[in-house]
Amino acid sequence: MRQTVTFLATIIFSIGLIWANPATAKTSSTADNESSGKVVKMTKADFLANVMDFEKNPSEWVYKGQKPCLIDFYADWCGPCRITSPILDELAAEYGDQIVIYKVNVDYEKELAGVFGVRSIPSFLYCPMEGKPSMTSGIGRDAAQTKEMFKGYIDNILLEKEK
């Protein structure tokens, strides 16, 4: 009896781990979410299909997106990353269909983080429609300053607005 209970508890625990692991969760198509004004979680497969296929073209940046994008390299345990998350949600809604904001969890997408030399988080990759991407890291002193920092980068790098 005790062995049966232990066996069932192990199976239930294992199923719970598999179900709760974001790396095994199915996500909706990135393309479906691009115009929704929401932040889109991105995997390596999504990145290769929608941003740049660095496996086919490792030496030259060829942007595949339909809109400029901002990619947030983050981790769930990172305090500054948790501060930026609601700000990026606000910006995704504010900029609507002008840009796409993606999130890449570096704990699950180590290869993507490595390709871009992400050594500290949060790090942000700004991918304009033309030209090379720009990488920044860190946040402002507070939420308001961080939001203004993002808006400046989005307007100047992604949307190429003049000040």
Is residue 71 within 8 A of residue 127, CB to CB? The reply is yes
Is residue 11 within 8 A of residue 64, CB to CB? The reply is no
Cα 59 to Cα 55: distance, rounded to the nearest angstrom: 9
Catalytic residue among 81, 87, 99, 100: 81
Q: How far from the centroid of its chain's Cα atoms is residue 113's Cα?
A: 10
Catalytic residue among 31, 75, 78, 159: 78
Closest CA to 148 of 101, 78, 66, 87: 87
H/E element, 32: helix 30-33
**Is 81 noted as a catalytic residue in this protein?**
yes
Measure Cα distances from 102 to 10, 12, 14, 98 in Å.
Answer: 36, 33, 30, 13
**Is 78 noted as a catalytic residue in this protein?**
yes
Which residues carry out catalysis? Answer: 78, 81
